[in-house]
Amino acid sequence: MSERITLAVENAVATLTVDRPDKLNAFDLDMLRELAGACDRLDALLTIRAVILTGAGKAFSAGGDIKAWGAMSPVAFGFEWVRFGHRVFDRLAGLRLPVIAALNGHALGGGLELAGAADIRIAERHIKIGLPETGLGMVPGWSGTQRLARRFGTQVVRRMVLGGEMLTADEALSLGVVDHVVDTGAALAFAQDYAAGIARRGGAAVQAAKLLLALAEGEGGEGAAETLASILVAKTADRSEGVAAFAEKRQPDFKGDWS
């Protein structure tokens, strides 16, 4: 892993840190690629039960680094920056494991879209939350008007996108944008305790419930449905018989039940 996206594992909890504090953890293309790779690693770590997502230094993330995209052509900006970043954040949102965002500092623009890909958000009391893109002549591009509208409600996203409103942590809590507010410096410890609580729950049930919630939100529905159905069918004797029959070049003798 690069030093700008770090992944640490302790017991059943992984911590994913955006580590570019000198730039307020703003993303460039390399960091998006590293985040995608980290998601692949997390899904392959079968002993992990929960993931904490946080930022190094005084910010959670200031979003996309303007220097990384400001000089791109419109086509490159749309496909190489916006569409690719959207796919990476979708990948994070679709992790099989619950993700807890520990908002240790401001979450702005793409930083709030990053936090919105998590399942639970813990905010420190001093932080600000917003989607300032229209003030730069841009629109949110990493699902700010889509996933965030589904998860937070369209009206609060309107206020941030159209009106440029910045929310305090307490305002964000009252509007359902964050789930808990803690004192400054306490988000990571709170997230660690929360993750440990998730890890004590039924792992298969938690992962299945996350897929069902994705279905309820209309997010990744086809993949969620086929994943759940495939897991169920893979546990049957018919699946074992089908694989064996293929290997032995014979007709399978299916029982047709769910055992």
Interatomic CA distance for residues 181 and 239, integer angstroms? 47
List of residues 6+ apart from 117 with CB closer than 8 A? 89, 90, 92, 93, 99, 143, 147
State the catalytic residue, choosing from 133, 171, 217, 226.
133
Clarify whether 171 is annotated catalytic: no
State the catalytic residue, choosing from 10, 34, 80, 113.
113
The Cβ of residue 209 has, within 10 Å, a number of other Cβ atoms equal to 13
Q: Which two tokens stand for residue 187?
A: 């988000």
Q: What SS3 class is residue 156? A: helix
Interatomic CA distance for residues 48 and 215, integer angstroms? 23
Q: Which two tokens stand for residue 5?
A: 């996206």
Backbone dihedral angles phi then psi of residue 19, each to the nearest 5 degrees: -120, 75
Clarify whether 165 is annotated catalytic: no
Sign of CA dihedral 7, 10, 13, 17: negative
Q: Which two tokens stand for residue 62?
A: 């200031």
Residue 82 per-residue DSSP state: I
Do the Cβ atoms of 58 and 107 come closer than 8 Å? no
Q: What SS3 class is residue 26? A: coil
Q: Which residues are marked as active site? A: 113, 133
